[in-house]
A and B are shown apart, each in its own frame.
Chain A
Amino acid sequence: MTINWFKYSSPASFYPLAGKLIPVFMVLAIVLTLGGLYWGFFQTPDVLSDQKQYYRIIFVHIASAWMAMWLYVVMVFWAVLGLIFNTRLSYMFACATAVTGAIMTALSLWTGAFWGQTSWGTWWDWDPRMTTQLILLFLYMGYIALHSAIDDNRRADRASAVLAMVGLAIVPVIYYSINCPDPNACASLHQESSMERIETNIFIAIMTTVAGFWMYCFAVILMRTRNIILQRERKSSWVARLEALK
């Protein structure tokens, strides 16, 4: 069976498909996130190397921080696709991703602050990882602000897509701020990534929560895309024929 992917690049045929996918992703999100957190709180040791029980912030901290970074890449992907093919739906996806990305970035900073206070004794420090993550939040906010400042949707889409592309430079900086080959070169307060050395149960809990967060992001991005479609296409004839409107 071959699927005609281009069929779904039109808002009219994508809208009902997204409506069917949202409950699936939402159920997966709830099951995986709660399952991961259950495993993280009840099946893991009370200490992680020198850290006491407060290390359990790790499950939501890593999941939100990864999503913050990945969603930016996803947003730029759709923005670039929009610039190349001039497809309306790609821009709508980019727009829908930005808000969830900003929420995830804010959550990673918030949970990081609480973890930082317990393990380092400070809520905030101008350390490379934290500073670049804060810049990422400003980039998301800049994208949203620029888009809403331009009345014409098509021009807003293109202008903010360019801004998103330029901002992509921050992603490798965030990644290498704790993963650089020479630890002295990226010496910072934030510990290095040590996923390969972590206890198996903690690793399972982290990965399950991360999978849950992915599913959650798919669900809410699809929900927001559907809202954007309705907003922008409210005068089209296909919208008037929608089952929900009868």
Chain B
Amino acid sequence: MSEFFAMGGYGFYVWCSMGAVAVLMILEPVLLSIKHRQLIKNIKRQNRRQASRENTASQTEKS
């Protein structure tokens, strides 16, 4: 196993390349899905605020 990771003495170069690819290709979709969740949360909040504003407006109209 350690022979495999040594890559004939070139392990540092091979794994630095593979590592960078792995880190960026995992990080990109993770960050995108976090951003997606945040966007959904913000829109929900915006909708709730709008709904409560409409509610108060209709109540003032009635009174």
Contact = CB atoms under 8 A, between A and B. Distances in A.
Contact of A115 (B7, B13, B24): B13
B63 interface: no
Contacts of A52: 8, 10
A54 B14 contact: yes
B32 A230 contact: no
A interface, by DSSP: helix, strand, loop or mixed?
A: helix
Interface residues of A, number: 37
Nearest to A235: B46
Given A52-B8, A245-B44, A114 B13 contact: yes
In this complex, the interface size class of chain B, counting residues with CB under 8 Å from chain A, is 20 to 34
A56 B14 contact: yes
B21 to A, nearest CB: 5
Contacts of A37: 18
Contacts of A103: 24, 28
Contact of A107 (B7, B20, B29, B39): B20
Most chain A beta-carbon contacts within 10 A, residue among B4, B17, B40, B44: B17
A227 B42 CA distance: 12
B14 A53 contact: yes
